[in-house]
Each structure stands twice: as structure tokens, then as C-alpha cells.
């Protein structure tokens, strides 16, 4: 017989949810070294800013007093990053023990966004996004943002790490919109890499979270992404159902409506419903202005125009795509594929082969398996030419949604009185 009574459970044990720590900042050969390869002139001061923020982040809060010499010479007047960022970082140097984490994170986010908009500053954009997430370490949205920046530059393993951390934080704090956003972002990365089954699992998780917690915006985004995935897999009827559902969730005033309309029109172009797709692409042109997003829109517009025999519109779109400085991004390879498909519709086999080859090389470089397969299919069609497929008459459901989207975009583009 035991000398002591056997311990018995006194109640349910409280679960402590694990939160994955963020990945370590890049430190080889030293902190921020990659930034020096990108930054010239006064921009080189961002290297010092990055190292100072990294030191502040890695120092325990009760040991930050006197961390920096407040009178040390530092360049504050930079061409590019906002003055607000410089002001926040000035507080970091003068009062490191009392500066707010949120202010430091906001400054780093603004620098990361500036670096992305500049183009060609991938390491700077990634490093400052990760500094922002590290400075405000309980903020799930900043962790997810760091993941998205890494994904856009095809740094997939670090992106996955940040997504997992962001979702852990969101679940720990019961932040359901951020949790759904994390599933959507992770699914988008899987989709970009051609991992369709995995992407669908994440999109469905996002949809279930949105439905359970009555999140209209996240629900619309989940059905939007499921539409795009169904399109990629050739399940056009399923994609159309998701499109109608997403339109209902978003509503006409949603800020992403031009992008949603573009994606729905792309669904129709893949089915050769060019008469429904073309006017929607055309109406989206004044509303989608970011250069790397615009090249994808122009390529799809050119493809639909070629399908309808609008050769001048196609050549204008071709010029817009090929004039883009080819900085690698998540839209460029797909844009080349679509402008190549348009060229093929007009019988321009040599041009289709040229842009198809560019698309294939870029997709392989970035590990974008889906786009790689599309480029290979385009090149196969160039090698074994067949008669161009004629446009198809869209069904009534497609015509109705096309009219709704067209009216919505025209209202958005109309000048306010």
C-alpha cells in the first residue's frame, strides 16, 4: 500500500497555448549587412537605423536607459522614408527606455512600405517589416505583414514562420479577424507555390472562421480566394459560385472591389467569355494604378482584347507590360503568360514564344509552380499550333454579374460632384 494517497485530478488543467517565437533577425555576416548592398547615398543611414532598432528590440526594457549616445551624429533627413519615421526613431535615440513599441513598429512599417514601393530594395523591405513585428511582439497583424513581405520576395520559409506566429498570436488573443487573415495569407503563399491542396485547406479554415464569427470582409476574401483556386484547377462552375458569394459579402463599396472584379473577369477570360471579361478589365484600368498590379491587369486586358480581335488594344497592353522594368514580383511571370496567350490568339507565335520563355524562367526562379505550368502550356501550344479557339457566348449568370461589376467600377471611377 502506498504511504501517500494517490493524487487525483482536481479539475480541468488550464491550457497554455504555445506561441511560436519570431525567427531571428538576419545577422550574417553582421546585423543588417544585406541592406548595404541596396542602399546608396543618404539612404545608407537606414542601415544605422536598422541596427539601432535591432539593438533596442533585443535589449530587455529595464536595461534600455542610456542605450544610445543621444548626441551621436545621425542622418535624419532622408529622401524617401516619411518624416514621421524619423521622428519616432529620434525618440528611440533620446529616450530609449520610454519610447512606445507601437511608435517604433509604425516607423519600421512605413520604411518597409517605402522600400517595397521603390522596387529593388527587397532586403530593406523584409528587414524593417521584421523589425516592426519584433518591436511590437504581441501584434498578430504585424507578424502576418512580415510574412507577406517575405512571400512577395519568394522567401517562403521565413514567410511560413511569420504566418504561424501571427496565427498563434491571433488565437491566443481571440483576434478572429487576424486569425482568418493569417489563414488567407498562408493559403496565398501555398497557392503561389502551386500547392493547391494545402492552399485550399487554409482558405477553407479562413472561411469557417469567418462564418463562425460573422466576419463579412474575411468571409468575402475567403470565397474570393477559393474562386481563384477553383479557376486555377479548371473548376469553372465552382469558381462562379464562389464569385457570386464573394460579391455578396464584399458589397459594392468595398475597397478591394476593382481587384475582385479583375479576378472574376480573369475567370471568364479563361473560359473564352471575352465579351463579359473585356469591359470589366477596361473599367478597372483607371482604378488599379500600382505598377506591379497594373502589369497583370494590362496583360489580362490584352488577352481579352485579342480574343475579340481588338488588335490595337492588345498592342497597347503589350507595350505597357513589356515596358515595365522587370523587377521580380509575384505578378510579372503570370503577366507574361497572359500577354503571350493574347499574342497566340492573334497568330503572333514568335512573340508568344518570347514572353512565354521569360515567364518560364522567372516562375522557376521564384518557385511559382502554377505559373511555371502555365508558361510550359503556352510554349507547348506555340510548338504545336492549332486553329485559334473562338470566343464563347457567356451564360446569363455571367452576363448579369458582368453588368453588376461594370456598373460598380464605373461608379467608383466617376468624379464626385
Structural domains of the chain, with CATH: 24-137 (no CATH), 143-250 (1.25.40.10), 254-411 (1.25.40.10)
CA–CA distances in Å: residue 182 to residues 105, 145, 159, 212, 221? 19, 9, 11, 16, 12
238-250: pLDDT as tens digits: 999 999 999 999 9
Of 162-166, 206-210, 289-293, 413-417, where does mean pLDDT reach its minimum? 413-417
What's the mean pLDDT in 160-164?
A: 97
Give the contacts of 311 (CB within 8 A, at least 6 positions apart).
305, 346
What's the mean pLDDT in 351-378?
A: 93
DSSP state of 376: H
Q: Which residue has the cell 513589356?
A: 322
Q: How confident is the model at residue 415 (pLDDT cuts 50, 70, 90)?
A: low
Beta strands in 261-353 (DSSP E): none
295-318: pLDDT as tens digits: 999 999 999 999 999 999 999 999
312-346: pLDDT as tens digits: 999 999 999 888 765 668 889 999 999 999 999 99
Flag whether pLDDT at 84 surpasses 80.
no
**Which contacts (CB < 8 Å, 24+ apart) does range 251-256 have?**
252/408, 252/411, 254/217, 254/220, 256/221
pLDDT at 350: 95
Flag whether pLDDT at 3 surpasses 60.
no
pLDDT at 11: 46
What's the mean pLDDT in 67-71?
A: 77
Write out the H or E segment, with its range, that includes residue 129.
helix 122-135
229-282: pLDDT as tens digits: 999 999 999 999 999 999 999 988 888 999 999 999 999 999 999 999 999 999
Q: How confident is the model at residue 1 (pLDDT cuts 50, 70, 90)?
A: very low
Flag whether pLDDT at 163 surpasses 50.
yes
Q: How confident is the model at residue 6 (pLDDT cuts 50, 70, 90)?
A: very low
DSSP state of 80: S
Written as nine digits, the cell of 365 is 526562379
Instruction: Tell me the longest C-alpha to C-alpha distance in the chain.
Output: 94
pLDDT at 171: 96
Report d(CA 112, CA 148) in Å as an integer: 12
Amino acid at each position: 500500500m502506498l504511504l501517500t494517497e494517490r493524487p487525483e485530478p482536481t479539475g480541468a488543467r488550464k491550457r497554455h497555448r504555445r506561441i511560436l517565437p519570431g525567427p531571428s533577425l538576419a545577422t550574417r555576416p553582421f546585423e543588417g549587412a544585406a541592406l548595404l548592398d541596396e542602399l546608396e547615398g543618404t539612404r545608407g543611414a537606414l542601415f544605422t537605423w536598422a541596427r539601432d532598432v535591432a539593438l533596442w528590440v533585443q535589449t530587455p526594457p529595464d536595461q534600455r536607459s542610456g542605450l544610445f549616445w543621444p548626441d551621436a551624429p545621425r542622418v535624419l533627413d532622408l529622401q524617401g522614408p516619411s518624416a514621421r519615421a524619423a521622428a519616432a526613431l529620434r525618440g528611440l535615440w533620446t529616450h530609449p527606455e520610454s519610447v512606445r513599441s507601437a511608435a517604433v513598429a509604425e516607423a519600421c512599417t512605413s520604411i518597409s512600405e517605402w522600400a517595397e514601393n521603390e522596387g529593388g530594395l527587397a532586403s530593406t523591405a523584409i528587414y524593417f517589416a521584421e523589425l516592426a513585428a519584433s518591436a511590437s511582439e504581441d501584434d498578430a497583424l504585424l507578424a502576418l505583414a512580415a510574412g507577406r513581405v517575405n512571400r512577395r520576395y519568394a522567401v517562403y520559409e521565413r514567410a511560413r514562420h511569420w504566418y504561424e506566429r501571427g496565427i498563434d498570436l491571433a488565437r491566443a488573443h481571440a483576434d478572429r479577424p487576424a486569425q482568418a487573415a493569417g489563414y488567407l495569407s498562408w493559403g496565398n503563399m501555398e497557392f503561389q507555390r502551386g500547392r493547391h491542396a494545402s492552399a485550399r485547406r487554409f482558405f477553407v479554415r479562413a472561411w469557417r472562421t469567418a462564418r463562425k464569427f460573422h466576419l463579412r470582409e474575411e468571409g468575402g476574401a475567403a470565397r474570393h480566394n477559393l474562386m481563384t483556386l477553383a479557376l486555377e484547377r479548371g473548376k469553372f462552375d465552382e469558381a462562379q459560385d464562389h464569385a457570386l458569394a464573394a460579391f455578396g459579402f464584399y458589397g459594392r463599396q468595398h475597397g478591394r472591389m476593382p481587384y475582385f472584379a479583375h479576378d472574376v473577369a480573369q475567370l471568364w477570360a479563361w473560359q473564352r467569355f471575352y465579351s463579359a471579361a473585356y469591359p470589366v478589365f477596361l473599367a478597372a484600368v483607371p482604378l488599379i494604378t500600382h505598377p506591379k498590379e497594373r502589369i497583370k491587369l494590362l496583360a489580362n486586358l490584352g488577352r481579352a482584347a485579342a480574343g475579340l480581335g481588338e488588335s490595337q488594344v492588345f498592342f497597347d497592353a503589350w507595350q505597357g507590360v513589356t515596358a515595365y522594368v522587370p523587377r521580380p514580383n509575384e505578378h510579372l511571370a503570370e503577366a507574361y503568360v497572359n500577354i503571350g496567350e493574347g499574342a497566340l490568339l492573334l497568330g503572333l507565335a514568335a512573340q508568344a514564344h518570347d514572353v512565354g520563355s521569360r515567364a518560364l524562367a522567372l516562375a522557376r526562379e521564384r518557385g511559382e509552380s502554377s505559373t511555371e505550368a502555365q508558361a510550359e502550356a503556352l510554349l507547348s501550344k506555340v510548338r504545336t499550333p492549332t486553329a485559334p479557339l473562338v470566343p464563347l457566348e457567356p451564360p446569363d449568370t455571367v452576363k448579369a454579374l458582368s453588368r453588376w461589376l461594370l456598373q460598380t467600377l464605373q461608379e467608383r471611377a466617376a468624379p464626385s460632384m
